[in-house]
A and B are shown apart, each in its own frame.
Chain A
């Protein structure tokens, strides 16, 4: 089974988020980049599925050379080879077109993405790829089993879950529960340097959207502390002041 895992290079969870150029660009000075945590779940699942010679795992990302460290981390975790589309990821539509363009020539059985990226919090790339390739997709899966050419997926729905089957090839977005996140071991780190990382130039894509500015949320006012012996006060504050009950 040939598996393609889409990796996004995102600011570390604990990064302070600030903007430059009059709040039109993300300020990446001093920011540590990591493999998007949801994509790590996708990668870990792919490695499980391919284990014991049952398949191969290719990771793909859209980014400039500064993303190579993130790609090497994915290779160290256990991917067999990597593709980098040499372009800055403009938006989800651009990224999806680059990946779909690569995938359509390569006959992957399964394309995995994380359910969303922790930077722009979009859930778009996976379903865009599936739409371009005209294959089925599930955007947020909690469980994934593959049997021959059939995938059985448990997906989250409001107030419950849904179990569905779909034929491969398919695109599946992974969330918590699909796999335990793997961490690179020493052997993985050593071999990562020798695994192939191919750099491909991007294709032209019509731009349909752009981010015009960013804002940071208004800081909340100082906390109003209520004494533990006076919970009635909390109830009346929530009713009269916050007006939420």
Chain B
């Protein structure tokens, strides 16, 4: 038996969430005395594949064909299912990323497996079953899902499990499963990636601003603050609705849920819909000139003050700190 982990790459590089998934898989494997098999699909160099060994993979299956260079949901799912079967996987782990959210249910359905998506902790075993803690009710609760099927699928939330180095090294095997032509009925036409930007769902630090900024022309200082911190930028719903910032930056109930180590909210009052997307953040800093803003109730640190006064000073202070 084995623990199979599917690792996602971005333009041939593994990001932190991939190493988190491998580290998680290793911890699950250690619980049951199994080994971790990692599966990579796409054009990834051996040096990157070798890195997976450092985090706990004993074997890396490498699927690298022109046809599979970009993500094709059904075809990727078929390959993962094939790899799970041929490696006798008892647990399959994926990142709960945008692509992972589309893959995990397809893979689970094909394997007759139960799926826990949005896992935030290691599972605990109850006999043959696994119990997985997941987020529920948009940050207002957690649900413990018991998986009772023979094979189990877990989709791990980004930023929920610490990357850990293990004393393993991986052998790399080329893997070429056969795929049906009908699994290629979706065709990727274009990928537009803002390469200079840090991806919001995976970011360690998020700097987010709201209507208190008064207009899109004032985002320069938000971007500068994010830059100093190595943070991703985000915004509240009214801001993206007004077209000040793109919808992809909208954090909250109908936007993206994030769980960074540090979330800095500037000029955001903290409506319940916004809090739903940020409550899993480890540390929350709120900067708002209204001392009654509800956001202060869920904040760890707060400054009651005008963003236009506080943010430039904060940038200076952070730059000074970084130079120490």
Contact = CB atoms under 8 A, between A and B. Distances in A.
Interface of A: 11, 13-14, 17, 19, 37-38, 41, 92-93, 96, 118-128, 130-132, 136-140, 142, 152, 155-167, 175-177, 207-217, 220-221, 223-228, 231-232, 234-239, 242, 244-245
Top 8 A-B pairs, shortest CB-CB distance = A228-B305, A160-B193, A208-B114, A127-B105, A159-B199, A139-B102, A131-B109, A209-B114
B262 A124 contact: no
Interface in B111-136: 112-118, 131, 133-136
Contacts of B320: 232
Nearest to B257: A121
Classify the secondary structure of B's interface with A.
mixed
Contacts, number: 263
A160 B202 CA distance: 13
Interface of B: 10, 15, 17, 70-71, 73-74, 77, 97-99, 101-106, 108-110, 112-118, 131, 133-149, 185-195, 197-202, 205, 229, 240, 247-248, 250, 253-255, 257, 261-262, 272-273, 276, 279, 282-286, 296-306, 309-310, 313-314, 317-318, 320-321
B147 A13 contact: no
B193 A159 contact: yes
Contact of A158 (B15, B190, B284): B15
A219 B7 CA distance: 34
A125 B187 CA distance: 22
B276 A13 contact: yes
A130 B199 CA distance: 28
A217 B102 contact: no
Contact of A132 (B77, B109, B131, B279): B109
Contact of A224 (B117, B192, B301, B309): B301
A220 B136 contact: no
Interface of A is mostly: mixed
Nearest to B237: A176
22 contacts: A13-B138, A13-B253, A118-B253, A127-B101, A128-B109, A130-B106, A152-B189, A157-B193, A159-B10, A159-B193, A162-B71, A163-B188, A163-B191, A209-B147, A212-B145, A223-B301, A228-B303, A228-B310, A234-B317, A238-B285, A242-B300, A244-B283
Given A13-B272, A142-B247, A214 B198 contact: no
Nearest to A177: B247
A167 B186 CA distance: 7
Contacts of B73: 127, 136-138
A164 B144 contact: no
Find the residue from B108, B134, B276 having the highest chain A CB count within 10 A.
B108
